[in-house]
Structure 1
Amino acid sequence: MSTHTVALFAGILLALSASTAPAQSDAPSLPAPPEGYDTRRDGIDRGKLETVEYDSTTVGLKRKAQVYTPPGFDRNRTYPVLYLLHGIGGDEHEWTRHGAPDVILDNLYADQQAVPMIVVLPNGRAAQDVTARDPIPKQSPAFAAFEQDLLTDLIPFIEKTYSVKADRESRALAGLSMGGGQSLNFGLNNLDTFAWVGGFSSAPNTRPPAKLLKDVDATKKLRLLYVACGDQDGLFRVTQGVHAMLDEQQVPHVYNVIVGGRHDFKVWKSDLYQFARRVFQGTP
């Protein structure tokens, strides 16, 4: 691994541990989610979470992912799919441990504010012997290798196992922190696979803005490109840089600055709420 890559990942921890002065919000925030949006309600239908295993030719073994199916899931109906990625310290359980994605989505469906979708929560490290406990320089190649695992192993497994729509208009990719960087890197690099992309508080693994857009015209055809971060986050400048580049290239996108937001699940749960309300809709 290059010293530049090591420095980028080391910078994640340094930025998060540093005390930073409040950054000026350079965009208005979207309206905050309503009170109780992430609290389990009584008297509503609920989706189902299950753990699956798939054969990974990329890694050479079986890998696990969690899958959420919406309330009233019907195998005779086809659904769009959101692939939702975790951060550098997590795995396939991070979102469900701390982010309540099933609760947020169940509540949105109860309020008829989201399109029913399947949500896949994978382990974003494509390696045999790498875990969240390993040093960041050891983890980083596994995060990069997940692009191949996602495209060649996980997506085909989901499309074979579940009744889903298998086209770019029906696939979304989003994630938090390290997973936000992966989502921008992989999503904008595979525009024939994903039409909806979201980066939540994206980490320094995000490609430099000048290298993130390979095809500006094709990127403009994304149905939704959502970039967001809290203005108190030590990594805010990563998202600012992406936004500035998208503005310069006139690429349509939703830029959401969460006033007072830090690098935590309070922000990321809000991002999931905002993204889920817009994804797979006719007009984002």
Structure 2
Amino acid sequence: MLAAAPQGYDQFRESIPRGIIELVEYSSATVGNTRKAMVYTPPGFSSANTYHVLYLLHGIGGDEAEWYTHGAPQIILDNLYADNKLEPMIVVFPNGRAMPNDRAEGDLFDPEKIQAFERFELDLINDLIPFIESNYPARIGRENRAIAGLSMGGGQSLNIGLNHLDRFAWIGAFSAAPNTRDPGLLVSNPDETAARVRKLWLSCGDEDNLKHISDNVHAYLTQQNVPHIWQEENGGHDWPVWKSGLYQFSQLLFKDDINEFSQVDCNGNLHNTINIM
């Protein structure tokens, strides 16, 4: 198990360089209207450079602003950059409810809204990623893209990422929700998944009433000898667990294994962890 996120990791620091987080709009042919996303660019961002991209998804009760409103991602990331622990990356916060009225209102479990979370796969692949790569100096190719999310977004990240290993090499799920596909469908070809995925991350609170979902995926990956990281946190289905997931997972992204972070065996056990502190 990785070391717990240190005290103060999510607290605002004075006198450090800061990234910028902004609201953008993009045209979605999938949904048939203009949609919103938030985009974080790191400290020292310059169009003269190119950047990896992390797509970070919200839960069933949220939208493109949920992480920003509740999770302080820009503070967590700014602090990590100040400590030289991150590779330069753009972070995109989409709205994972791909429907004309995508606000988190009314019956959140309405079948139409649940279907909209499934439809987001097409919106992401066909609309949002092309928009980001056309309007930001984003590196293209699977090795330069990551996807992760909390709860409903954690399930989406596993569903989309593992179904599109041609698009994503780095995949993370924090407290994945019941929308997560059966592990046998997620990883129908374990050998291919093991060969292509760079980092596959699962984390969940030890008191989460949805923990069985992450447990089942972890058990299947272990049985099928698919290397992955399994992190069991103290807590429930809540923000301390998800923020810690971002803090730890982001440090693994877009790095070579050698001398960067620990190796992970097929049981999800980490050895010689050196940089996650």
| Partners of 2:192 and 2:78 in 1: CA distance | 33
Q: Hey, what does 1:39 align to over in structure 2?
A: 11
Query: Does 1:202 pair with 2:202?
Result: no
Post-superposition offset of 1:189: 0.2
Please say if residues 95 and 102 of structure 2, whose CA atoms lie closer than 8 Å, have aligned partners that are also in contact. Answer: no
Please say if residues 204 and 241 of structure 2, whose CA atoms lie closer than 8 Å, have aligned partners that are also in contact. Answer: yes
4+ long deviations beyond 2 Å: none
Per the alignment, do residues 130 and 163 of structure 1 end up closer, same or farther by CA in structure 2, a change over 3 Å counting?
closer
Please say if residues 191 and 218 of structure 1, whose CA atoms lie closer than 8 Å, have aligned partners that are also in contact. Answer: no
Please say if residues 174 and 198 of structure 1, whose CA atoms lie closer than 8 Å, have aligned partners that are also in contact. Answer: yes
Q: Hey, what does 1:190 align to over in structure 2?
A: 164
Given the alignment, which residue of 135, 139, 146 partners 2:120?
146
* Partner AA of 1:115 in structure 2: E
Q: Could you give the per-residue CA deviations for residues 184-223 of structure 1, whole angstroms, max 9, x where no partner exists? A: 0000000000000001000000001121113222211211
| Partners of 2:126 and 2:102 in 1: CA distance | 20
Query: Does 1:96 pair with 2:71?
Result: no
Query: Does 1:134 pair with 2:95?
Result: no
Give the total of aligned pairs. Answer: 255
Q: Hey, what does 1:9 align to over in structure 2?
A: none
* Structure 2 portions without partners, runs of 5+: 262-277
| Partners of 1:70 and 1:218 in 2: CA distance | 33
Q: Could you give the per-residue CA deviations for residues 21-79 of structure 1, whole angstroms, max 9, x where no partner exists? A: xxxxxxxx321111110001001000000111000000000000000000000101100
Given the alignment, which residue of 63, 66, 87 partners 2:35?
63
Post-superposition offset of 1:125: 0.6
Task: Describe the SS at the equivalent of 1:142.
Answer: helix
Q: Hey, what does 1:108 align to over in structure 2?
A: 80
Query: Does 1:246 pair with 2:221?
Result: yes
Post-superposition offset of 1:116: 1.2
| Partners of 1:208 and 1:97 in 2: CA distance | 31
Alignment of 1:66-77 (within 5 A): 66-77=38-49
Task: Describe the SS at the equivalent of 1:273.
Answer: helix
Task: Describe the SS at the equivalent of 1:251.
Answer: coil
| Partners of 1:88 and 1:157 in 2: CA distance | 24
Task: Describe the SS at the equivalent of 1:30.
Answer: coil
With the length of structure 1 as denominator, give the TM-score of the two structures. 0.88
| Partners of 1:241 and 1:270 in 2: CA distance | 21
Q: Hey, what does 1:122 align to over in structure 2?
A: 94
* Structure 1 portions without partners, runs of 5+: 1-28
Please say if residues 188 and 214 of structure 1, whose CA atoms lie closer than 8 Å, have aligned partners that are also in contact. Answer: no
Q: Could you give the per-residue CA deviations for residues 135-159 of structure 1, whole angstroms, max 9, x where no partner exists? A: 2123100000000000000000000
Query: Does 1:227 pair with 2:199?
Result: no
Task: Describe the SS at the equivalent of 1:173.
Answer: strand
Cα RMSD between the aligned structures?
A: 0.9
Q: Hey, what does 2:269 align to over in structure 1?
A: none
| Partners of 1:219 and 1:62 in 2: CA distance | 34
